[in-house]
Structure 1
Amino acid sequence: MTEQLAPSDPARIGGHRLLARLGAGGMGVVYLGRAESGELAAVKVILPEYADQPEFRARFRREVAAARRVDSPWAVPVTGADPDAPAPWLATAFVPGPSLAEAVAACGPLPPRGVRVLGRMLARALTAVHDAGLVHRDVKPGNVLLAVDGPRLIDFGIARAAEETALTSADMVVGTPGFLAPEQARAHPATPASDVFSLGCLLSYAATGRPPFGTGAVDALLYRTVHDEPDLDRLPDGLRELLERCLAKDPANRPTAREVDEALGEDTPADTSDWLPDDVLRLIADRSAAMLALPDIEATALDARADERPTEAPGEASQRTGSRRRFLLLGGAALLAAGGGAAFWASRRNEDPAPAARRWVLGVQADLTGPQRAVGQAQERGVRLAVEQFNARDDKPFTLTLKVADDGGDETRAARTAQVLAADRDLLAVIGSTGDRTTGASLDTYDAELVPQLTASSAQEAYGTSQPRHFLQAVPGYGVSPALIALQLGKAGAKRAGVLIDRDGGIAAWQLGHTTFQSLGVMEIPAEPRVVPRLAGHLAPVVAQMLAREPDGFVYTGTPARAAAVARALAEQRFTGVRILGYPAADQEFLTAAGPAAEGWQIFAPYIDPAAARVRSFATAYRRRYGSAPPYWAAEAYDVARMVITRVAQAGGRPSRTRLYGLLAKGTYKGLVRTYAFDKNRILKGYDVFRYEVKGGRYAYAGEAAL
């Protein structure tokens, strides 16, 4: 979606009148522009600090040359460029539709025939790329745009001639983890066969809604790409054999892009309404129509001419009403195809409420009915309390509306929930989601709509292949607690520690356990790490084997139920050393299932005890509002909500989503639980972690843990 032009943005570039911002990265800005011909274009402009670097200009010239060498109806064409201008720029035809990643996240997998048609179009685009002597090197769902007449392959920013490797560092991985080939994961040069591997990953994603090598931390994705077989179980009949060949580890065993085109054996239709589902067509139409609701700009002669509507030919009205699918396309996308549409844009603009009448909406996406519903419900109540307190103020500059969405802890549902929330033009920011997987599943959607997204509980170190620009992790990551765990073992005089990492606990268990092992090394405490698979049976034999090494400290990261089994096994072996539990496993289930064996276990968690002195005012207000004491995680969500509300109120007027994100990312806010400030990677600064110890069958608060 678009953002209004900033005061510092130019009015024109290379004969294009700039209308809005489409996006911004570390090296440039992409604008929506209108050429003198009236056609819309995506205009990439390089920032001045990079334009002054000769090596960067050389790279940009290669990008322009690469894009111009590709001749395919399924690749976005270059419409103009000047790499030698004071502000180098590149213009390509503008495709107003969503990316394949957005479409799958919002609408689910494509039908089998849709995947085959998509595959053939993209195979033809890659054939053109390879015939030009190039390798794309970053074929992924985010680089495929869906238009009314078919997909478009975009972003030749890292495309290279097949023989050119000198300007790529020997140890640099180029591409997107989860969609790049094994040879790219090993930092080897990419070849046309690498693009075919990526195409196979992309088509598997389009058909199943998930990448074939899963999601998670980048290092885990790269490892699985190199060593593991892809997950192709959900592929429809007729696609699996071809995609298995595309995803062969050995590049020599993969088909060429031209052979993929031939193998799919599906004629490319002239009318895409024949193969795209209704909801995807509606998304394309809505996105196309939204592009017409551009920020206010002064009228031009070109705009005035566009107000003259063409005369409708006899019979056209009845043709438009003859098909619901056709209507979805004509509802927005066909208006853009004419290259003007200013009259429709003006009518849309006049229908919008005045700025003062717009709602001020804060969103909450949480697991309210799924496996983490206790945490999600606590956070929803914490945010709601913050909003109600603000609205009760006599001096409030606006009234805030809270919009809550339940993703049920499900990844697919989370992506669709995010699509619904992000589509609300009045949404300022969203707090959520509750868990790691649902947070990761919603990132791309919020980022595409420039919605500031803040999580108060998801602590994952990395989220799959995404590199979100509008995301803030307002909770210490899983890498923080291990340093404190190792320090606690050192203080207790531990000479050797056992670290049991249970893969049944997912990414959280792996990151907590692996980082604890590394932190113990820094403390020079010998450690005995063991990793058990998700399907492992009884853990008592594993515990016995670890105790044979005579550790005097023991750390478990995994699930509450299996943590209880480990606690009982240690008790049976009369282990009396320091026992520490990764905090995602520390809930009531662990206490109940472990019974007396839970006594003495310690936990280092990022959530504060709601009875702690520093959050007493919050606890009092919570009890008054809801009639009970606040649970864990409610105070953290309350803090984050108050931070967002404070920044909105300080903006001096309704802020754009981008401006609000800047205020949040660059500011410092002193909350009740902790001080919130973020580093350049959008990660929370500081080590605010709290220690608990099981005493008398409950988690007794032991205060803030200090390094």
Structure 2
Amino acid sequence: MTGPLLPSDPSRLAGYRLLGRLGAGGMGVVYLGRTDDGAPAAVKVIKAEYADDPEFRARFRREVEAARRVSSPWAVPVVGADPEAAEPWLATAFVPGPSLAEAVAECGPLPVRSVRVLAKMLAGALAEVHAAGLVHRDVKPGNVLLAVDGPRLIDFGIARAADDTAITSADMIVGTPGFLAPEQAEARADALGPAGDVFSLGCLLAYAATGRPPFGTGAVDALLYRTVHDDPDLEGLDEQLLVLLRPCLAKDPAERPSAAGLHGLIMEDTPSEPAGWLPPDVVRIVAETSAAMLALPDIEPTVAEPPATAEASPSRRRFLVAGAAGAVLVAGGGAAAVWAALRDDGDGDGKASGAGTGGSREWIVGLQADLSGPAKALGQAQERGARLAVEQFNARKDKPFTLTLKTADDRGDANRAGAVARAFIEDKDVLAVLGPTSDTPARAVLAVYDEALLPLISVSAGASILSTVENRSFLHARPNNLEATASITMLLTVGGTALGAQYAAGPAAGGPSRRPGLLLDRSAGDYAWESVGSVNAVVRNAGLTPYPRVVPAGTDAFRPIVTDMLAAGSDAFVYGGYAPGAAAFARALTAAGFDGPVYTPGAALTTEFLQASDEAGDGWLITATCVDPTGLPAAADFTAAHRKRFGSAPAYFAAEAYDVVNLIADGLRKAGKRPTRAELIKSLRATVYQGVTKAFAFTPDTGSFVAPASGAVFGYRVDGGRFRFLGPASVPSASS
């Protein structure tokens, strides 16, 4: 729990000996301190550069004042502070126990009685906060410490007077997504008050009882959307907890109980003995923390860390600078020298390498795919496309090396995906990996490949987090789910003809919608939000007033929902979810007599949707990030070769996999020698490659896809029980 002091840390501050670090952030450090009398304290010290900011110093001064105004046995008391010092500091009593977040992560959900006691004590603490005229505004598991005699509420850093909105604007969200109230999520400054703390407490207690946040995890915008529109996930909760939590989690602040009222409901749960309210495994953590704190010397020794060795991996900053370099272009006589060097198979250290050309090492491209799980149709299609690309490359007489395709089935399972990734990483002859097929395994292995600097390129996984975080090794060979919905928003706000003449037919070709109905099916998790939540935000900004609805996971009776949405005036629909729900929704719309435009993103591009929806799906417009190679002139040769090799037309995403393997082969060829994995990442991220499906280009720092001017999202209309390929439906990005 406690880390050593660094050489730059002071050994004393005011009346405190500093023994170690409890935590550190960009604005300061929290130390474990001890008074001369032996009392432990947590000492927060703000860096001088932030103290020079008058607004920051004023906020810190308010934190000190707020914490001092709260008098409760379940709120950590202030034992010292100097907000006017050159480096302002605040000392609170040290609680030798884990945070609620740490305890649940290590030991699992708390028993029912522990949660009820937690509710009583924290409600009491919040009652004192509100009685002092304050609103905490950041009640979350990380701000509750567990001690043997009860919990402690900490961190009044953003607490404010109940009637003070000085730092709250219509565009400022204050608090922690996933543990804040709907009025906070929507930044409704006039509605923020004590009731928001009660909602946050309800979220915290649901997390303590189930081990999962009641509005899920994922992108911040997704959490905010669910908080406002979704019912909380309270599945599996004991009935006595449901009675307490349901009122706390009411969307309307006026329907929630006060903290004092909630505290009064559970007085019978006052713990009768120390530690009796906590399960044994959490008590053990508290005991171990206390023992470790007591064993600390007066001053923790500070030892400078040794410099990194030459073998250490490059820092992210140095790597990103290198990754921004331009691609190497070889032409004319220079190309002959490159091919000759490749035939020698030198790997830069004087050793021979390369299979098929006299060397001892193989040049392997890995394929991590779902070949037998829920997305096996996509995985098998990508395997065929990748295999065809490798076979065609190896058939070239002037090939500088022989490629090997090494496949591994992760079955779409996150745990198995990690094992597959580690196996590829350990095989030093694997130079790049295509995959995974879907979002769940892709998110599970992103950091694994990143740590090893092994290039990972996905053509079908679309989660926005894959391309919105700073990755060192990932390349997203398609627009993410959020970007892929831009064409749907244009169809709603402008009409079908805005995307070209091929869209000016059928129900989806109408003009702007007056009130689109947006249906988010929670069976599809984050994919549903990224499909519909982003549309909701964009069309609102465009001046439309959509009618959003959210349905629980597993819903297949859509008729009442359709009736409600039509009664609300919905004249067009967007469905966010997977193929089974899309088919059920299509049948409900047809039964209700609706024959207007319906849009959905690519998850419905399956034979399952066609079969289950029957004629009800006719007219639906689906936008996807894959092409139909049989309808794309540029892919005619690929389609013919696929038919000859496998005896059938290529399925969706086969051509994209074919393109990516050729992209990798081109990067290996251009390297001039057998590249390291890091060198190959640099080359791939800096290149622009024209495939049969589209042009591939990437941003150097995140590996996210840069949409070409010709577009990278494609439209399909359901017509007579089949998907009719309409061609590009993209709204190109500003960077294209």
Displacement of 1:110 in angstroms is: 0.9
Residues 555, 459 of structure 1: alpha-carbon distance in 2 compared, 3 angstrom cutoff: closer
Residues 3, 492 of structure 1: alpha-carbon distance in 2 compared, 3 angstrom cutoff: farther
- 2:558 paired with 1:505: no
**Partners in 2 of 1:369 and 1:74 — Cα distance?**
53
Matched pairs, number = 544
Q: Secondary structure at the match of 1:168?
A: coil
Displacement of 1:571 in angstroms is: 11
Residues 3, 161 of structure 1: alpha-carbon distance in 2 compared, 3 angstrom cutoff: same
Among 268, 271, 276, which residue is 1:268 paired with?
271
**Partners in 2 of 1:268 and 1:109 — Cα distance?**
19
Residues 509, 344 of structure 1: alpha-carbon distance in 2 compared, 3 angstrom cutoff: same
Which position in structure 2 is the counterpart of 1:162? 162
> Unaligned 5+ residue runs, structure 2?
314-367, 376-409, 432-437, 510-515, 543-570, 630-647, 670-674, 690-695, 717-721
Residues 121, 459 of structure 1: alpha-carbon distance in 2 compared, 3 angstrom cutoff: farther
Which position in structure 2 is the counterpart of 1:616? 665
Which position in structure 1 is the counterpart of 2:329? none
Which position in structure 2 is the counterpart of 1:334? 290
**Partners in 1 of 2:183 and 2:280 — Cα distance?**
38
Which position in structure 2 is the counterpart of 1:490? 499
Displacement of 1:600 in angstroms is: 9.4
Q: How does 1:505-524 map to 2 (within 5 A)?
A: 505-512=524-531, 515=534
Which position in structure 2 is the counterpart of 1:558? 603
**Partners in 1 of 2:53 and 2:617 — Cα distance?**
67
Q: Secondary structure at the match of 1:612?
A: helix
Identity across the alignment (%): 43
**Partners in 2 of 1:390 and 1:383 — Cα distance?**
13
**Partners in 1 of 2:232 and 2:625 — Cα distance?**
30
Q: How does 1:86-101 map to 2 (within 5 A)?
A: 86-101=86-101
Residues 243, 549 of structure 1: alpha-carbon distance in 2 compared, 3 angstrom cutoff: closer
Residues 692, 180 of structure 1: alpha-carbon distance in 2 compared, 3 angstrom cutoff: closer
Q: How does 1:551-630 map to 2 (within 5 A)?
A: 556-558=601-603, 564-565=609-610, 569=614, 580-581=623-624, 608-609=657-658, 612-616=661-665
Residues 614, 645 of structure 1: alpha-carbon distance in 2 compared, 3 angstrom cutoff: closer
> Unaligned 5+ residue runs, structure 1?
286-328, 350-354, 393-408, 410-431, 444-449, 587-597, 621-638, 648-667
**Partners in 1 of 2:482 and 2:90 — Cα distance?**
41
- 2:241 paired with 1:239: yes
Residues 56, 571 of structure 1: alpha-carbon distance in 2 compared, 3 angstrom cutoff: closer
What TM-score results when the alignment is normalised by the length of structure 1?
Answer: 0.59
Which position in structure 2 is the counterpart of 1:35? 34
**Partners in 2 of 1:434 and 1:155 — Cα distance?**
36
Which position in structure 2 is the counterpart of 1:480? 483
Displacement of 1:266 in angstroms is: 0.8
Q: Secondary structure at the match of 2:411?
A: helix
Note the alpha carbon deviations across 1:500-524, whole angstroms, 9 max, x for none: 977343321442456579899999x
Residues 184, 123 of structure 1: alpha-carbon distance in 2 compared, 3 angstrom cutoff: same
Displacement of 1:675 in angstroms is: 5.4
Q: Secondary structure at the match of 2:30?
A: strand
Q: Secondary structure at the match of 1:558?
A: helix
Displacement of 1:220 in angstroms is: 4.9
Residues 646, 472 of structure 1: alpha-carbon distance in 2 compared, 3 angstrom cutoff: closer
Residues 619, 563 of structure 1: alpha-carbon distance in 2 compared, 3 angstrom cutoff: farther
Q: How does 1:212-223 map to 2 (within 5 A)?
A: 212-223=214-225
**Contact 1:51 1:88 (C-alpha < 8 Å) held by counterparts:** yes
Residues 153, 461 of structure 1: alpha-carbon distance in 2 compared, 3 angstrom cutoff: farther
Which position in structure 2 is the counterpart of 1:531? 575
Which position in structure 1 is the counterpart of 2:427? 388
Q: How does 1:430-509 map to 2 (within 5 A)?
A: 434=441, 460-461=463-464, 475=476, 477-483=480-486, 490=499, 493-495=502-504, 497=508, 503=521, 504-509=523-528
**Contact 1:543 1:570 (C-alpha < 8 Å) held by counterparts:** no
Q: Secondary structure at the match of 2:269?
A: coil
Q: Secondary structure at the match of 2:428?
A: helix
Displacement of 1:334 in angstroms is: 3.3
Displacement of 1:111 in angstroms is: 0.7
**Partners in 2 of 1:248 and 1:184 — Cα distance?**
14
**Contact 2:531 2:576 (C-alpha < 8 Å) held by counterparts:** no
Q: Secondary structure at the match of 1:146?
A: strand
CA RMSD of aligned residues (A): 6.1
**Partners in 2 of 1:558 and 1:74 — Cα distance?**
49
**Contact 1:579 1:602 (C-alpha < 8 Å) held by counterparts:** no
Displacement of 1:549 in angstroms is: 6.6
**Contact 1:510 1:557 (C-alpha < 8 Å) held by counterparts:** no
**Partners in 1 of 2:679 and 2:486 — Cα distance?**
30
Which position in structure 2 is the counterpart of 1:195? 197
Note the alpha carbon deviations across 1:375-409, whole angstroms, 9 max, x for none: 555674455333431899xxxxxxxxxxxxxxxx9
Note the alpha carbon deviations across 1:142-200, whole angstroms, 9 max, x for none: 21122344322111011112232234224433223332233334423432332222222
Displacement of 1:257 in angstroms is: 2.3
